[in-house]
Chain A
Amino acid sequence: MTRILICFLSILPFTGVSQTTDNIDPVAISLIDKMGEVIGGMEAISFHLRSVNDDRNQLGLMERTFTAHEVYFRGPDRMAVYNSGDKGSTGYWYNGEYITWYSFDENNYVTLPAPESIIKTIDSVNSKFGMEFPAADLFYPSFGDDLLEYFGNVTYMGIKNVEGVACHHIIAETKTDNFQIWIENGAFYLPKKFLFIKKGDSPSVVEGTFENWDTNPQLPDEIFEFNPPANADLISIMPKN
């Protein structure tokens, strides 16, 4: 997801996506800001996320994959993520100094020195090694700015019901991309669902649904420390070209 948005932002100057026809709905932006500020004000959060990805696979066929994520953040420098689904079972542990990427299927892991905050770490390992984090875009402090910068059309669509939860529905769109988000109409304005559609010759869809938000979890240091299982191999890693 992060990669997609970064990619979009990087090609922006060349594609000439027009900002001259901006149609920015203030209510939509205020809701995005509200969500961002609530998240930005939290010291620790945990949630589950179900993600669905439609993408061209190695054989060139559109393939849908499902992944379940279990995410724990404790600001500013602790993170643990468990991923399980069609692309295998993996986990990330970030303890403020190192980030470890472990494959449960292969019983091997990569450990790298990491920057001093969650967001910088996500940004760093995503850009260098392609490590992907579920719904990372929504947790960027500049999420609202990024949305405005790229999407010329941001519209508030009203209240919608998502799996029994009343949510504010917002759509942002360009000629090539469509982003939708459903923000809970509750006290915390937490994201309930998001959808990223890439149109054009190589379409892709990323959809995520949040569950089990805990906005004030007690997360001890131990859960952010990676302890290699028996016979697990520390291996090397190849950076992106």
Chain B
Amino acid sequence: MKSVSKTLLKIAVPALLLLLAPVELEAQRMGHRSSRSSMSRPSSRPASTPSTRQSRPSTSRNTRSTNTRATTSRPSSKPSVNGGYNKSSRDVSRPSTSTRPATTDRSASNARDRASSSDRNKAVDRSSRDKTSNVTRPGDRGSNTRDRAGDRNSNNRVNVDNSRRGNTNINIDNSRNVNVNRRNTYVRTSPVRYTRPPYRYGGWGFYCHRPYYYHPYRPFYWGPVWHPWGYFVTTMVTTAIVVSIVNDSGQEEEYHYDEGNYYIKTDKGYEVVQAPVGATVNNIPESAEQVQVGDTYNYYYGGAYYDKTEEGYTVVPATAGTIVPALPEGGEEVKAGDRTYVKFGDTYYQPVQVDGKDMYEIVEMKEEETS
């Protein structure tokens, strides 16, 4: 009996080795790592014999991952481009999936990756990364602010005419943010029907009459008497007039108006703000331009739109489709999908080209169903 057993053993061991050898040789040839060497090369490589498709030696997965490949396991410091392949929910009838110890490997790998990432991040020079983009969405209250201290153009574009104002102490408070009042930036629907389909992004339709033509946003300055929003003076000029309007809450707001500029009183002085919708003034600067709004015209100056009435010039909201030649300071360029718009509160301007000149069209934004 013993001799029979010995004979069987002598036959069985080489046979077993012969069976295992091709698998191992193949795995080494393919350079698999033990933690993920769950599959041998498909036997159907020539691929013309469907019958071989079921011959996947799936049991080798367990054998390799738990035993024979342990000594060649992947060093823990090696990070994967995607954290390692994950196939946790196989539903195909493959016996090996139920016992595949992949979960442990993956979590270990992820932990390694995280640790590695953390270590590596420490070496990153953060000094050059002190500025990131503002994430802003339509209707964001207070999102459309600009840190004037960091404004790339704030130092060389403001022209303060001290001679004209005598001893008036004029300066720009760079520590302030310029807040765009949404009430003054909502957009009226275009009176002209759109023939051009909207640009769609993120559940919004951006309607315009003219095609998108990018040019960088560079704030325009309407001469020495005009001041950008946020401009600050300690005393008000004597030529200013007081303009009062009633806001949406029924409260009266008081502004000081002088040569196209609207000021509000603050603790320390007066600050230039957006033209308040509803305010009526007797005159506006001569450099105001007529802009077409459907069949009529508005006057445009310093980012404000005016209707000419019997009482004078009344500040009105922007109307979609209106083309303006330039935009004041206070806007921000916003990437929406592949396009870049200039945003003032709720008003989005699309860069366009008209007769070879760079201009902006007021966008009509409509919330649309996401497909």
Chain A, Cβ-Cβ closest to B371 = A202
Q: Are A236 and B42 in contact (CB under 8 A)?
A: no
B interface residues, how many (CB within 8 angstroms):
83
Determine which residue in B114, B203, B333 has the highest number of CB atoms from chain A within 10 A of its CB, and name it: B333
Chain B, Cβ-Cβ closest to A42 = B81
Q: Report Cα–Cα, A74/B94, bound state, in Å.
A: 33
Q: Are A106 and B81 in contact (CB under 8 A)?
A: no
Chain A, Cβ-Cβ closest to B152 = A233
Could you say which residues of chain A place their CB within 8 Å of the CB of B332? 235-236
Chain B, Cβ-Cβ closest to A234 = B131
Q: Are B138 and A238 in contact (CB under 8 A)?
A: yes
Closest CB of chain B to A34's CB: distance in Å? 5
Q: Are A34 and B117 in contact (CB under 8 A)?
A: no
- Knowing A30-B39, A39-B82 are in contact, say whether A235-B53 is a contact too (CB < 8 A): no
Q: Are B84 and A40 in contact (CB under 8 A)?
A: yes
Whether, in the assembled complex, A134 has its beta carbon less than 8 Å from a beta carbon of chain B, the answer is: no
Cβ contacts B78-90/A at 8 Å (1 or 0 each): 1111111111111
Point out the residue from B37, B80, B137, B202 that lies within 8 Å of A42, measured CB to CB.
Answer: B80
Q: Are A77 and B129 in contact (CB under 8 A)?
A: no
Closest CB of chain B to A74's CB: distance in Å? 7
Q: Report Cα–Cα, A234/B192, bound state, in Å.
A: 34
Could you say which residues of chain B place their CB within 8 Å of the CB of A36? 85, 87
Could you say which residues of chain A place their CB within 8 Å of the CB of B38? 33, 37
Q: Are A118 and B132 in contact (CB under 8 A)?
A: no
Q: Are B56 and A30 in contact (CB under 8 A)?
A: yes
Q: Are B336 and A106 in contact (CB under 8 A)?
A: no
Could you say which residues of chain B place their CB within 8 Å of the CB of A202? 371
Could you say which residues of chain A place their CB within 8 Å of the CB of B166? none
Q: Report Cα–Cα, A148/B336, bound state, in Å.
A: 34
Point out the residue from A26, A27, A74, A144 that lies within 8 Å of B81, measured CB to CB.
Answer: A74
Interface of chain B, main secondary structure: loop
Point out the residue from A141, A148, A233 that lies within 8 Å of B90, measured CB to CB.
Answer: A148
The stretch among B44-52, B180-188, B302-310 that forms the contact with chain A is: B44-52
Q: Are A158 and B47 in contact (CB under 8 A)?
A: yes
Q: Are B340 and A235 in contact (CB under 8 A)?
A: yes
Q: Report Cα–Cα, A31/B31, bound state, in Å.
A: 16
Interface of chain A, main secondary structure: mixed
- Knowing A34-B39, A110-B335 are in contact, say whether A237-B135 is a contact too (CB < 8 A): yes
Could you say which residues of chain B place their CB within 8 Å of the CB of A110? 133, 335
Whether, in the assembled complex, B160 has its beta carbon less than 8 Å from a beta carbon of chain A, the answer is: no
Whether, in the assembled complex, A191 has its beta carbon less than 8 Å from a beta carbon of chain B, the answer is: no
Whether, in the assembled complex, B364 has its beta carbon less than 8 Å from a beta carbon of chain A, the answer is: no
Closest CB of chain B to A230's CB: distance in Å? 12
Closest CB of chain B to A6's CB: distance in Å? 12
Whether, in the assembled complex, A130 has its beta carbon less than 8 Å from a beta carbon of chain B, the answer is: yes
- Knowing A27-B53, A33-B38, A40-B85 are in contact, say whether A236-B135 is a contact too (CB < 8 A): yes
Q: Are A107 and B216 in contact (CB under 8 A)?
A: yes
The stretch among A93-101, A173-181, A205-213 that forms the contact with chain B is: A93-101
Q: Are A112 and B371 in contact (CB under 8 A)?
A: no
Point out the residue from A41, A234, A236 that lies within 8 Å of B36, measured CB to CB.
Answer: A41
Q: Report Cα–Cα, A64/B203, bound state, in Å.
A: 23
Point out the residue from B45, B83, B132 that lies within 8 Å of A112, measured CB to CB.
Answer: B132
Task: Other than A107-B216, A235-B340, give 18 A-B pairs with Cβ distance below 8 A.
Answer: A26-B54, A26-B94, A29-B90, A37-B32, A37-B85, A43-B80, A75-B79, A75-B113, A76-B79, A76-B116, A87-B338, A96-B120, A98-B132, A116-B113, A119-B82, A129-B202, A145-B90, A240-B202
Top-9 shortest CB links A-B: A241-B203, A240-B202, A40-B85, A27-B53, A76-B113, A235-B333, A75-B79, A141-B86, A75-B81
Residues of B within 8 A of A (CB): 29-33, 36-39, 41-42, 44-48, 52-54, 56, 74, 78-94, 106, 113-114, 116-118, 120-121, 124, 126, 128-129, 131-138, 152, 196-204, 214, 216-217, 332-338, 340, 343, 367, 370-371
